[in-house]
């Protein structure tokens, strides 16, 4: 007879079963989107593991997703949303000719929510709601990954709208609702696209270019690509890109692997630099083609004489370039309406906006982007307002370059159309116009709920021109004087960083001062002692001046000298670097005529010097002065 010394241990099968059921519920909730909206990075990880276990691993690993962030489209500071209700929107480009397996919206940043407030964030993509989330009180970081449905993926870009709504507690009454919540999206927010294959069309490659692009130009060779580089760089700068240049031969040394690279050079030069043609039988060299190196597909221009190709790929006709190769045999853009520029034609958001208290439209315009480089004389506004409570007061305020030029009442429930004068003395080479609609309600307090109302700035709003308006004075008047034809005089014999700095300055000068439809005559000049042969037509001279011009500021290497200026009586300064000097000048030409043996005519021009590597001109407030020294980003020293 046998006996046992203790009780036999029982295995906790019931506990194991409960754990398995709990894990299954968690996986199911993440996979269905009921927990964490199925949108967090951990949620997507769990979903992916679940799918792998159920369906098995794919034969090929997916490629690294193509990402477009706020930083890529120029929003380097991200987006800031505060108060109830508040709204922000951004447009992100997507590929259209390359198959996609999935597109995800990535939102990351910080939230700061009052402990006693209630707030929720709603995300809408192309009009379809993709996320609704109640925010947790306190200060915390977040990263949400939202898999977008196919129904939201239409058009050449994704319009992402982010709404913050909520309320303060009844015990707290405050006029400023922004004290409730603040949400900041950092520049890494954007979209991720899982591509089934490499990007294969010109329009997709160009649409995915980031806000900062680099143009690689051969430094040697029998074919000169500098004129094409300047043309392309100027056109892209006018489109809002920040353009830099690099020697094609230096790409391997700098290991520049980026989506923002554009290649110039013959087919042999691009092949020698390690690139291969994306489509081997793409055709002859006189076109824009795609070139590949590693994981990146780049735009390449291989015929130095095809200025029309550069014009085409930076025009509104780009959406028809759906293949890896395009060759326009002729492309000349039209000039547009000479008496009006409509907001709907220059990219102003004229869609219906839903506002609670106010809405502002910020409209930046450069004179070189307007017809014939003319200065607008008047502004026509057409604004439609909804019906509303009888105690609403509707106002519209107009500011130009920080100056309030108009403020008036508008009527509720109708189309308000009016015309106001744009004073010439306030306008610059580049201008910032702000149109603000303000809705004020007599009744207020915490018992009155905030509501959003539709408001629309109509597309027929725009700039009006008089037929005989003279150009502005100084530098701001040059676009009008260059409207037909201008000679671009570029110094010969430059190399290295000096050549690249002169090209960057030249591209920005052309973008700032030459209208799109003007004809540009490119010419190399030998700048002996900083002076060249006489100018015979309207001109732009880079790093040198024609012999028949008197400069207010003399530039010799890193030395500048001047006398009799408004700020300086006499000066001779050496070791000047990292500045750009712009001077609006006139070249004198003898033109004797009958009974006028001493007759002299004047030719307008611009002399621009780059001392070392100057800052960009594109954010500089260049006005109607004749001389401007750009010494920092957005900072200009005027000397007259």
Q: Is the pLDDT of residue 615 over 80?
A: yes
Q: Is the pLDDT of residue 175 over 60?
A: no
For the chain, how big is the Rg over CA atoms in Å? 30
Residue 634 is predicted with a pLDDT of: 78
Cβ atoms of 279 and 325 within 8 Å: the answer is yes
Among 91-100, 325-334, 442-451, which range has the highest average pLDDT? Answer: 91-100
What is the rounded CA–CA span in Å between residue 86 and residue 182?
A: 10
- What is the rounded average pLDDT of the residues 153-178? 69
**405, burial (CB in 10 Å: exposed 0-12, middle 13-18, buried 19+):** middle
Return the number of other C-beta atoms located less than 10 Å from residue 35's C-beta. Answer: 16
Which one is predicted more confidently, 84 or 58?
84
The arrangement of strands across the sheet holding 570-573 comes to 553-556, 559-563, 570-573
The secondary structure of residue 596, as a DSSP letter, is B
Q: Is the pLDDT of residue 342 over 70?
A: yes
104-113, 263-272, 273-282, 391-400, range with the lowest pLDDT: 273-282
DSSP bridge partners of 292: 276, 297
155-164, 223-232, 329-338, 413-422, range with the lowest pLDDT: 329-338
Please provide the average confidence, as pLDDT, over all residues in the chain.
Answer: 83
Strands (E), 70-211: 79-82, 86-93, 100-113, 118-125, 128-134, 138-147, 157-167, 181-185, 190-195
Which one is predicted more confidently, 432 or 353?
432
**442, burial (CB in 10 Å: exposed 0-12, middle 13-18, buried 19+):** exposed
* Residue 294 CB-half CA count within 13 A: 9
Residue 368 is predicted with a pLDDT of: 94
Place of tokens 């500048």: 560
Closest CA to 41 of 147, 143, 184: 143
90-104, 231-245, 407-421, 536-550, range with the lowest pLDDT: 90-104
Residue 1 is predicted with a pLDDT of: 43
What is the rounded CA–CA span in Å between residue 265 and residue 300?
A: 8
Binned at pLDDT 50, 70 and 90, residue 169 comes out as low
Q: Is the pLDDT of residue 618 over 70?
A: yes
Closest CA to 456 of 356, 380, 386, 364: 386
Residue 29 is predicted with a pLDDT of: 55
Binned at pLDDT 50, 70 and 90, residue 34 comes out as very low
Hey, is 207 helix, strand or coil?
A: helix
DSSP bridge partners of 92: 158
Which one is predicted more confidently, 13 or 500?
500
Whole-Å CA distances, 220 to 62, 493, 494, 499, 501? 40, 12, 12, 12, 17
DSSP bridge partners of 418: 381
What is the rounded CA–CA span in Å between residue 348 and residue 413?
A: 23
Q: Is the pLDDT of residue 539 over 60?
A: yes
What is the rounded CA–CA span in Å between residue 457 and residue 459?
A: 7
Q: pLDDT digit string (tens) for 466-521?
A: 988 899 999 999 999 999 999 999 999 888 889 999 999 999 999 999 998 899 99
Distance of CA 614 to the CA centre of its chain: 21
Long-range contacts of 129-134 (CB under 8 A, 24+ apart): 130/105, 131/37, 131/39, 133/37
- What is the rounded average pLDDT of the residues 629-638? 86
Residue 580 is predicted with a pLDDT of: 93
Binned at pLDDT 50, 70 and 90, residue 591 comes out as confident
What is the rounded CA–CA span in Å between residue 234 and residue 543?
A: 17
- What is the rounded average pLDDT of the residues 374-384? 95
Helix ranges (DSSP H) in 521-613? none
The secondary structure of residue 273, as a DSSP letter, is T
Cβ atoms of 353 and 361 within 8 Å: the answer is no
Distance of CA 280 to the CA centre of its chain: 33
Residue 514 is predicted with a pLDDT of: 96
Place of tokens 């707030």: 119
**96, burial (CB in 10 Å: exposed 0-12, middle 13-18, buried 19+):** middle
DSSP symbols for 511-530: HHHS-TTSEEEEEEE--BTT
What is the rounded CA–CA span in Å between residue 224 and residue 230?
A: 12
Q: pLDDT digit string (tens) for 302-324?
A: 988 888 888 888 888 877 777 77
Q: Which residues contact 528 (CB under 8 A, 6 or more apart)?
A: none
Cβ atoms of 603 and 584 within 8 Å: the answer is no
Residue 37 is predicted with a pLDDT of: 42
Q: Is the pLDDT of residue 400 over 90?
A: yes
DSSP symbols for 3-27: --SSPPPPP-HHHHHHHHHHHHHHH
Residue 178 is predicted with a pLDDT of: 47
Residue 425 is predicted with a pLDDT of: 95
What is the rounded CA–CA span in Å between residue 81 and residue 96?
A: 30
Residue 478 is predicted with a pLDDT of: 96
């Amino acid at each position: 007879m046998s006996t046992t010394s203790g009780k036999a241990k029982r295995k906790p099968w019931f506990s194991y079963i409960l754990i398995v059921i709990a894990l299954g519920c968690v996986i199911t909730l993440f996979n269905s989107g009921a927990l964490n909206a199925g949108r967090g990075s951990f949620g997507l990880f769990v979903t992916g593991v679940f799918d792998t276990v159920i369906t098995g691993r794919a034969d090929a690993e997916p490629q690294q997703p193509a990402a477009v962030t706020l930083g890529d489209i120029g929003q380097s500071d991200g987006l800031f949303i505060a108060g109830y209700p508040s709204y922000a929107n951004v447009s992100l480009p997507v590929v259209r000719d390359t198959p996609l397996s999935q597109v995800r919206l990535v939102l990351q940043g910080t939230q700061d929510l009052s402990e006693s407030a209630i707030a929720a964030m709603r995300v809408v993509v192309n009009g379809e709601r993709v996320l609704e989330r109640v925010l947790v009180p306190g200060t915390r970081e977040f990263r949400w990954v939202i898999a977008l449905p196919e129904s939201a993926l239409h058009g050449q870009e994704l319009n992402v709208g982010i709404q913050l709504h909520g309320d303060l507690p009844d015990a707290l009454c405050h006029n400023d609702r922004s004290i409730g919540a603040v949400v900041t999206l950092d520049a890494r927010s954007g979209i991720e696209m899982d591509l089934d294959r490499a990007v294969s069309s010109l329009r997709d490659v160009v649409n995915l270019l980031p806000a900062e692009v680099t143009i690689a130009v051969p430094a040697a060779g029998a074919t000169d690509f500098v004129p094409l580089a300047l043309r392309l760089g100027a056109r892209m700068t006018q489109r809002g890109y920040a353009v830099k240049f690099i020697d094609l031969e230096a790409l391997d040394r700098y290991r520049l692997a980026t989506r923002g690279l554009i290649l110039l050079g013959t087919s042999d030069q691009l092949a020698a630099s390690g690139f291969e043609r994306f489509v081997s039988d793409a055709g002859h060299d006189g076109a824009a083609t795609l070139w590949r190196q590693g994981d990146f597909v780049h735009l390449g221009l291989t015929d130095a004489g095809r200025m029309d190709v550069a014009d085409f790929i930076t025009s509104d006709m780009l959406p028809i370039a759906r293949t890896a190769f395009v060759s326009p045999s002729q492309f000349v853009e039209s000039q547009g309406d000479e008496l009006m520029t409509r907001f709907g034609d220059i990219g102003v958001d004229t869609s219906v906006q839903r506002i609670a208290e106010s809405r502002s439209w910020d409209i930046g315009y450069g004179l070189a982007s307007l017809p014939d480089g003319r200065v607008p004389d008047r502004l026509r506004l057409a604004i439609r307002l909804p019906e509303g409570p009888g105690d609403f007061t509707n106002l519209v305020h107009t500011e130009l370059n920080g100056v309030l030029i108009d403020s008036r009442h508008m009527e509720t429930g109708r189309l308000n159309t009016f015309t106001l004068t744009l004073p010439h003395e306030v306008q610059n080479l580049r201008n910032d116009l702000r149109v603000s609609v303000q809705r004020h309600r007599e009744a207020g307090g915490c018992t009155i709920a905030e509501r959003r109302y539709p408001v629309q700035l109509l597309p027929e709003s725009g700039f009006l021109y008089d037929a005989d308006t003279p150009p502005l004075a100084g530098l701001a008047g040059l676009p009008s004087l260059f409207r037909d034809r201008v000679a671009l005089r570029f110094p010969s014999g430059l190399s290295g960083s000096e050549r690249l700095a002169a090209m960057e300055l030249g591209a920005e000068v052309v973008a700032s001062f030459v209208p799109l439809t003007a004809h540009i005559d490119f010419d190399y000049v030998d700048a002996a002692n900083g002076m060249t042969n006489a100018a015979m037509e309207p001109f732009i001279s880079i790093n040198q001046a024609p012999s028949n011009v008197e400069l207010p500021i003399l530039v010799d290497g890193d030395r500048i000298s001047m006398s009799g200026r408004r700020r300086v009586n006499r000066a001779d300064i050496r070791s000047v670097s990292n500045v750009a000097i712009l001077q609006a000048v006139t070249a004198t030409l003898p033109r004797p005529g009958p009974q006028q043996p001493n007759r002299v005519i004047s030719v307008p021009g611009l002399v621009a010097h780059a001392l070392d590597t100057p800052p960009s001109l594109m954010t500089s407030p260049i006005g109607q002065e004749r001389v401007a020294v750009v010494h920092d980003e957005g900072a200009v020293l005027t000397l007259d």
